[in-house]
């Protein structure tokens, strides 16, 4: 192999292990060496126990367990693990030892995957950032809240990592770090053992370096029985959905979306614009009301008993949520419900929609993980979406575009994304 083991995608690494060219121990060791070399700059990991990871890898080599046998994976630190501490990105829970692995972790391990370590999350997946830097330029944010998962995958520390998205916490960091970020349809990957933020939107997803990897791992976790290799399928029709947030798109994002649309059209895909009715002008406010109302209850203990240990931005957000009366929450939920019905009809003529993944490239500084106004649509609608990297901004940092499919139409999204990912991006 020309590439180092830690540079392989998950599907490539699994094939190399199945054919005996690579052992789980060697792969895990390569990942750990990359982390050792780079994590003092990137700070992707919140917790690492190399001996534990290597022991798990060794047992996979000795007793192969399933379709992910020997595959190293990273776990966002808001996801419980029984043998590594889980602090939810918060000083309040520093050193906390959960009594069980989260469902996604236990299922990945049941299939033979090797847990490498815990990746940095913003505090409770809210806005307050951890120490993670963008591997493409450590003076820039990696995005958040799945900061460490996106950075670790981008920096070849691990082929795949769990993230979660409630607002924009998978697709935005994926765009900033130049990797695939896949937020499945709501309730595709069981969320047990993931610290909630707003249960109406919380979705477990994946950061990876190939669409195939997302399809493979999500299929195992979702309980798909016949998990055949992902086929690339050319979409017949793609809609370009700029959303009411389009005025926030910077030049780099505008150029990425328009270029991708032109590249698809040149490949004989029918590309047309999508406009949604006025309900969608109220959508982001409604999504915010629901998120904050629920978060104020999710973190009732921390808000009422540990407020002094919350970041000011978390405290403000939770206080804002506690001030929302129930009738406004129910009205916001009703609006989102209507928008889901409208969206289902609007997307029906298309295979997928093309949209912005983020306002632009990763902003400078580590104090702010960027804005989610291009992501909260899919979170509120509960539909699957995926960041396809391939473009660069004015500072040479990655810029991706977002593909979106109808609810529970993840298979179509992934097949189209595989086809599209090979055909869009900056031209040499």
| Secondary element (H or E) of residue 42 | helix 24-42
- Rounded-to-integer distance, Cα 131 and Cα 167, Å: 20
Would you call 314 a catalytic residue per the annotation?
A: no
* Least distance to a second copy, CB of residue 383, Å: 15
Strand 385-392 and strand 180-183: the pairing is antiparallel
Using CB under 8 A as the binding rule, the residues of this chain from 337 to 376 that contact a second copy are none
Q: What is the 3-state secondary structure (H, E, C) of 366-377?
A: CCCCCCCCCCHH
* Residue 302 near a second copy by CB under 8 A: yes
207 forms beta bridges with 161, 181
* Residue 324 near a second copy by CB under 8 A: yes
- For residues 354 and 261, is the Cβ–Cβ distance under 8 A? yes
* Least distance to a second copy, CB of residue 46, Å: 16
* Residue 196 near a second copy by CB under 8 A: yes
Q: Which is nearer to a second copy, 20 or 99 (CB)?
A: 99
State both tokens at 161. Answer: 């990592």
How many chain residues bind a second copy (CB under 8 A)? 43
* Residue 110 near a second copy by CB under 8 A: yes
* Least distance to a second copy, CB of residue 49, Å: 17
- Rounded-to-integer distance, Cα 212 and Cα 51, Å: 29
165 forms beta bridges with 203
Would you call 67 a catalytic residue per the annotation?
A: no
- Rounded-to-integer distance, Cα 407 and Cα 414, Å: 13
Q: Which is nearer to a second copy, 94 or 139 (CB)?
A: 94
Binding-site member from 115, 191, 215, 217 for a second copy (CB under 8 A): 191
Binding-site member from 20, 312, 325, 396 for a second copy (CB under 8 A): 325
- Does residue 67 sit in helix, strand or coil? coil
* Residue 99 near a second copy by CB under 8 A: yes
Which residue out of 145, 147, 288, 379 is catalytically annotated? 145
* Least distance to a second copy, CB of residue 150, Å: 25
Which residue out of 169, 185, 200, 357 is catalytically annotated? 169
Binding-site member from 23, 190, 309, 395 for a second copy (CB under 8 A): 190
* Closest to 412 in 3D by CA, of 235, 284, 270: 235
Q: Tell me the per-residue interface mask from 390 to 409 with a second copy, x by CB under 8 A, - otherwise.
A: ------------------x-
- Rounded-to-integer distance, Cα 376 and Cα 22, Å: 40
Would you call 145 a catalytic residue per the annotation?
A: yes
- Does residue 228 sit in helix, strand or coil? coil
* Closest to 296 in 3D by CA, of 183, 288, 87, 372: 288
Apex 225 CA angle, 381 and 154, nearest 5: 60
* Residue 382 near a second copy by CB under 8 A: no
Residue numbers annotated as active site = 76, 145, 169
Residues that bind a second copy (CB under 8 A): 82, 92-93, 96, 99-103, 105-107, 109-110, 187, 190-193, 196, 199-200, 222-225, 293-294, 297-298, 300-305, 324-327, 329-330, 408
């Amino acid at each position: 192999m020309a590439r180092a083991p830690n540079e392989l995608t998950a599907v490539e690494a699994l094939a190399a292990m199945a054919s005996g060219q690579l052992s789980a121990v060697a792969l895990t060791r390569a990942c750990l060496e990359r982390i050792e070399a780079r994590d003092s700059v990137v700070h992707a990991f919140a917790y690492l126990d190399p001996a534990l990871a290597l022991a798990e890898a060794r047992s996979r080599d000795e007793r192969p367990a399933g379709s992910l046998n020997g595959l190293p994976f990273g776990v966002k630190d808001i996801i419980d693990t029984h043998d590594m501490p889980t602090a939810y990105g918060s000083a309040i829970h520093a050193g906390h030892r959960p009594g069980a692995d989260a469902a996604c972790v236990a299922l990945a391990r049941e299939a033979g995957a090797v847990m490498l370590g815990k990746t940095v999350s913003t505090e409770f997946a809210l806005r307050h950032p951890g120490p993670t830097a963008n591997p493409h330029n450590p003076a820039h944010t990696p995005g958040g809240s799945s900061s460490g998962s996106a950075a670790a995958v981008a920096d070849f520390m691990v082929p795949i990592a769990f993230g979660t998205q409630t607002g924009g916490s998978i697709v935005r960091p994926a765009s900033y770090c130049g990797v695939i970020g896949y937020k499945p349809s709501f309730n595709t990957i069981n969320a047990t053992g993931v610290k909630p933020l707003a249960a109406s939107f919380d979705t477990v997803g994946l950061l990876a370096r190939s669409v195939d990897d997302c399809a493979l791992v999500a299929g195992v976790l979702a309980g798909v029985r016949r998990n055949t290799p992902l086929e690339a399928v050319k979409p017949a029709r793609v809609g370009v959905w700029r959303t009411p947030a389009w005025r926030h798109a910077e030049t780099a994002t505008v150029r990425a979306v328009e270029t991708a649309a032109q590249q698809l059209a040149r490949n004989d895909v029918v590309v047309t614009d999508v406009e949604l009715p006025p309900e969608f002008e109220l959508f982001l406010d409604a999504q915010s009301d629901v998120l904050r109302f629920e978060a104020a209850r999710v973190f009732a203990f921390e808000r009422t008993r540990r407020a002094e240990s919350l970041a000011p931005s978390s405290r403000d957000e939770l206080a804002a949520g506690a001030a929302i009366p129930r009738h406004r929450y129910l009205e916001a939920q009703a609006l989102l419900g209507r928008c889901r019905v409208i969206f289902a009809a609007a997307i029906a003529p298309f295979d997928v929609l093309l949209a912005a993944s983020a306002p632009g490239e990763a902003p400078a500084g580590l104090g702010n993980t960027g804005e989610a106004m291009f992501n909260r649509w899919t979170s509120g609608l509960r539909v699957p979406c995926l960041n396809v990297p391939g473009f660069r901004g004015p500072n040479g940092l990655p810029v991706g575009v977002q593909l979106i499919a109808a609810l529970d139409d993840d298979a179509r999204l992934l097949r189209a994304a595989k086809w599209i990912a090979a055909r869009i991006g900056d031209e040499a």
